[in-house]
Amino acid sequence: MQLVTTRAEATQFSLSEQSLGKKVGFVPTMGALHQGHLSLVHQSIRQNDSTIVSIFVNPIQFNNADDLKKYPRTLDNDLELLESEGCNMVFAPSVEEMYPQVPTESYSFGLLEQVMEGFYRPGHFNGVAIVVRRLFDILRPHRAYFGEKDYQQLVIIRKMVEQFQLPVETIGCPIVREPDGLAMSSRNRHLAASERAQASFIYQNLVFAQGNAGKLTVKDLKNEIIRRFQNHPSFRLEYFEFSDSSSLQPVDDWNDAANIRAFIAVYLGEVRLIDNIVLKETRV
C-alpha cells in the first residue's frame, strides 16, 4: 500500500493504474476509520482492480470551529487498518496541499441543500462539494463510494456529478450498525459510557417509525417520535423528518412519494448524531 501526500503523486498513481487497464475505486474519508468506512473499502475492492482511500479532515465543511478541533485524528491506526484490508493507495494531503489558496468555488443544489443538514449547517454542503470535486479531479476514479448514513450528502454529490457530467459512478452503501443498532460514526467515540448506553434509543425510534409508516398518519407518527425525544432527558432533538428519498423534501402523506426515508439529527450530551432509515421503497 502506498501513502502519498501531494496532489501530483496521487494523480500519477491513479493514471498509472488506469494505463494498465485497471478500474479505480475511491473512498473519501476524514479518517478515524471504523467498520462503516471499511465496508465501503470492501465494496470498492470487490468492484475494482485498484482502491484509493483519501484521509482528509476538510475544514471548510465544518460550520463549528470547536467541532473541527474535536474531530478525531488517528492516521497511524487508519493506515494499519487500510493496509490490512487490501487498500492500494492512501491519499492524505495537508490543508495547504488541498487549498493552496482560499477556496472560492460556489455550488448550488437548490432545494436539496435547504433542508435538514443544509438548513442546520449553513455552508456545509458547499464545503463538501468543493472537496469531493477536487478529489475527483485529482484521482479521476471510475467509481466512488459513500455511506448512506450521510444520505443527504450522497444525494447532493450525485447531483453535482450530474450537473457537471463528471465521469464517475457514485455508489451508496448501506449503513453499518453496532449490535444495538447505533449507526457507526467517528463521533461515537466522543460519547461517555453512560451516553453510549442510551444511544440505541435513536435506532429504536427509527424502527418504530418504520413499523408504523402507513398505519399512523405522517403527522401523528412524526409527533409521536418528537414527543419521545422531548420526554427523554439525555437527548436534544434538532430535527426529525419524513422525506422523499430523491428530492429530500418533506412529505405530508405516505402517498406523496414512491420512496420515503425518516431522517434524524439529535444531540446526546454534546455529541451530534445523525441517522436515517427506509420507510417506503418502490423497486423498479
Q: Give the start-to-end residue ranges of the domains of the chain.
A: 2-173, 186-277
Q: What is the CA radius of gyration of the chain?
A: 19
Q: Which residues contact 69 (CB under 8 A, 6 or more apart)?
A: none
- Domain 186-277, CATH 3.30.1300.10 — does that match? yes
Among residues 265, 277, 279, the alpha carbon closest in space to that of 235 is found at 265
Residues paired with residue 268 on neighbouring β-strands, in sequence order:
235, 271
Domains 2-173 and 186-277 share a fold: no
> Which runs of E-coded beta strand occur in the chain?
2-4, 24-29, 50-55, 89-91, 143-147, 169-173, 235-244, 260-268, 271-280
Integer Cα distance of 41 and 132 in angstroms: 17
Query: Is 174 a residue whose pLDDT tops 90?
Result: yes
pLDDT digits over 212-264, tens only? 999 999 999 999 999 999 999 999 999 999 999 999 999 999 999 999 999 99
Task: Output b/e per residue, 239-248; b: 16+ Cβ within 10 A.
Answer: bbbbbbbebb
Q: Of the listed 37, 124, 142, 190, which one is catalytic?
A: 37
What pLDDT does residue 284 have? 62
Torsion of the alpha carbons at 117, 119, 124 and 128, rounded to the nearest 10: 60
What pLDDT does residue 248 have? 98
pLDDT digits over 196-208, tens only? 999 999 999 999 9
Count the alpha carbons within 13 Å of 141 in the hemisphere toward its beta carbon.
30
Superfamily name with CATH number, domain 2-173: HUPs (3.40.50.620)
Catalytic site includes residue 37: yes
Work out whether strand 89-91 and strand 2-4 pair parallel, antiparallel, or are unpaired.
parallel
pLDDT digits over 31-66, tens only? 999 999 999 999 999 999 999 999 999 999 998 888
Integer Cα distance of 20 and 4 in angstroms: 20
Average pLDDT over residues 128-142: 98
What pLDDT does residue 64 have? 84
The three cell numbers locating residue 153: 450528502
| pTM confidence score | 0.96
CA separation, residue 147 to residues 25, 34, 127, 128, 143 (Å): 14, 12, 18, 14, 14
